[in-house]
Each structure stands twice: as C-alpha cells, then as structure tokens.
Amino acid sequence: MNLRPRSLVFSKLLLLLVLILPGCAAREGNSQLGAAEAEDFNDPFEDTNRAIFDFNQVVDRNVLVPVAKAYRTVLPDPVRDSLRDFLRNLRAPLIFVNNTLQGDFDLAGQTFARFTLNSTLGVGGLIDVAGRWGQLPYHEQDLGVTFGVWGIPEGPYLVVPVLGPSDPRDLVGQVGEGFGDPWNILVTGNPWTLYWIPYVRGGVSGIDQRSRYIETLADIERTSLDYYATIRSLYRQRRAALVRGERENLPPPASFSRNYGPGASVAVTTPPSRAAFVSEIPNASEVSRR
C-alpha cells in the first residue's frame, strides 16, 4: 500500500482536530445563545468557521475566481463541457459504488450503462453520449450522501480551508472517496506512482465547478445581509435534500411509512390517483431519472 493517500487522510484528520479544538474554547463564553437556535444553525464552532470562511473568501477572490474566469475565457464552451463530462465519467465507478451501497440498484445499473457508453462511443468520456442521446442523465452522488441514507447524522457544520462548507459526515466521505477512487489507486500505484495526478484532477474539477457559479455566488454575496449564514443554510439544506431525494427513490417495502423531516410523514402506500401525481413530481435531487 502506498503512503500518499494515507498521509492525506492523516493530514485531513489533523485538520479536523485543529478546527474543532479552538472552536470548543471559543464557544464556551457564548452560552446566552438560545438552545433552539444553536440547534437550528448546527454550528457550535461558528467563530472558528467564520474565521476560516473569511480566509477562504480571500483565497476565492484573489485566486479561485480569477483562475476560473480565465479558464472560462480561454476555453470555448464545448471544450469546457467536454472536460467536465470527462471528469464526471471518471467519477462513475465511485457513483456506481455509492448507488449500490444505498441499495439503489436501478440507478447503479444506469451508472454502469452510462460509463460503458461514454467510455466507448463517447471517446473515453469526452462526450456524454448517454446523457445527450441515451436518456441517461448524469447524477451526482457521493459517500457523504450514502452515509446520510444509512441514517448517520451530519454532525456540526464545518468550514474547511480552501474546500469550503462541509460537516464531519461529508468530510469523512470525501476522504474515503479519495482513498477508494480506482483511478487514484491506479495512477499512484506501481508502476506509475504519479502522485500529482489526483491533485491536478481535483484542482481542475474545482476550477471547472467554480467557473459555473461565478455570477450566482457573486449575486448571493452582494445581496446577502450575512453571506456566511446564507451559505451555511444553503449547504446544509442542499445536502439534506440530496439525502432525502435518495431515500425517497429507494424501492420501499410494502406498507412502509417513513418520516421525511420535521412533522412530515409520508405514507408510501398512496392511493393510485395520488401516486400518479407524486410520480410525476420530480424528487429534490439534481437530475431526474427519466
């Protein structure tokens, strides 16, 4: 086993400790905070998180956004889309594993079909043949969502340097994926031992994603009264929606009802007319399955 991913895991865990410890001390004196509200924000390390958030903003303004803008200017749209499709195709094995771990075998089959089509007809993933002509759109999926589907709680909100909003569940998921990604294992293992490749891949996909949200995020920042609080709420809701969406997608056992959030109990054995309606309504996840 090579050392690199292990040391990466270790450094991230160390980072987590560094994040949590000062936070514990910082929150101590702030006990006038309403208990209901503290629970609502789910942000016991807020002072530390805000400090890291400010740091990230400096990095974002001075490095990420200029690079993302240059990337968007230099590369024509089709080239950027092709690159994104290629990077997405590389994620297919992990997405497949996550679909399977979630018990969503239907979706796992779709992921497998996507990967096969795009890797062959789509020239190694450069063209999203399956999404564009095969009615098999890309869907995002990660280990953090899988943990959520399993019922593992998100834990306190965290802001990670450079990487941004997260929580222990998602952070562990990210580290686990970095560790388990077959391409990373392949290129960093013998005989290649090309440790820089996973970093370049991560960097490029980060810049590509940032380049797609330049105006949106700038707008949210400009109109917010408290940008940090807005991002925190958006992140936590989005992650919760992905987990909820996946849960709702799983084929439920007969006459089984589940709770989806506060006060909302959804009976899965709905009368036909209502079921017909519900089936027309897309779930909250990013991409529809049809």
Partner 1 sequence: MTRRSVLTATVVLILGALAPAILAAADPAAVINNLGNRALEVLGKNATPAQRVARFHELFREDFDVPGIARFVLGRYWKTATTEQQQEFIKLFEDYIALVYSSQLAAYSGETLKVTGSRADPQGAIVASEIIRPAGTPPVKVEWHLADQNGTYKIRDVAVDGISMAVTQRSEFASVIQRNGGQVQGLIAMLREKTASGLPR
- Going by C-alpha positions, the residue among 252, 236, 249, 259 that lies closest to residue 281 is 249
Q: How far is the CB of 31 from partner 1 (least distance, A)?
A: 13
CA dihedral 146, 148, 151, 156 (to 10 degrees): 140
SS3 state at 152: coil
CB of 284 to partner 1, least distance (A): 3
In the chain, what are the helix, strand and coil shares in percent, each to the nearest 5? 65, 5, 30
Stretch that binds partner 1, among 31-39, 54-62, 160-168, 175-183 (CB under 8 A): 31-39
Buried-state track 141-163, b at ≥16 Cβ within 10 A, e below 16: bbbbbbbbbeeeebbbbbbbeeb
CA proximity to 204, closest of 59, 58, 86, 56:
86
> In this structure, are residues 267 and 278 in contact, taking their beta carbons and an 8 Å threshold?
no
For the bound state, the minimum distance from the C-beta of residue 262 to partner 1, rounded and expressed in Å, comes to: 11
287 binds partner 1 (CB under 8 A): yes
Answer yes or no: are the C-beta atoms of 157 and 124 closer than 8 Å. no
Smallest distance from partner 1 to CB 275, Å: 10
Task: Select the span of 21-29, 32-40, 92-100, 145-153 touching partner 1 (CB under 8 A).
Answer: 32-40
> Smaller CB distance to partner 1: residue 152 or 248?
248
- Output the smallest distance, CB 149 to partner 1, in A: 15
Q: Which of 16, 26, 27, 81 binds partner 1 (CB under 8 A)?
A: 81
281 binds partner 1 (CB under 8 A): yes
* Residues 118-137 interacting with partner 1 (rule: CB under 8 A): 132, 137
Tell which positions 215-234 bind partner 1, by CB under 8 A.
Answer: 215, 219, 222-226, 228-230, 232-234
Closest distance to partner 1 from the beta carbon of 75 (Å): 16
Query: What is the length of the chain?
Result: 290
* Residue among 96, 116, 115 nearest 106 (CA): 96
The angle at the Cα of 157, spanning 153 to 159, to the nearest 5 degrees, equals 140
Q: Residues of 33-45 as b/e, b for ≥16 C-beta within 10 angstroms?
A: eeeeeeeeeebbb
Residue 72 contacts by C-beta under 8 Å, 6 or more apart in sequence?
A: 80, 211, 214
Helix-helix angle 77-90:196-211, to 10 degrees: 130
Does residue 240 belong to the site contacting partner 1 (CB under 8 A)? Answer: yes
Neighbours of 15 (CB within 10 A): 15
Minimum gap (Å) between residue 253 Cβ and partner 1: 23
Question: Applying CB under 8 A, what is the total number of residues that bind partner 1?
Answer: 40
Q: How far is the CB of 43 from partner 1 (least distance, A)?
A: 9
Asked whether position 260 contacts partner 1 by CB under 8 A, the answer is no
Give the residue, chosen from 6, 61, 69, 238, that forms a contact with partner 1 under the rule CB under 8 A.
Answer: 238
> Among 241, 250, 252, 289, which residue sits at the site for partner 1 (rule: CB under 8 A)?
241
Among 17-25, 35-43, 168-176, 195-203, which window interacts with partner 1 (CB under 8 A)? 35-43
Which residues would be at the binding site for partner 1 (CB under 8 A)? 33-34, 36-37, 40-41, 81, 132, 137, 215, 219, 222-226, 228-230, 232-234, 237-238, 240-242, 244-245, 274, 277-278, 280-282, 284-288
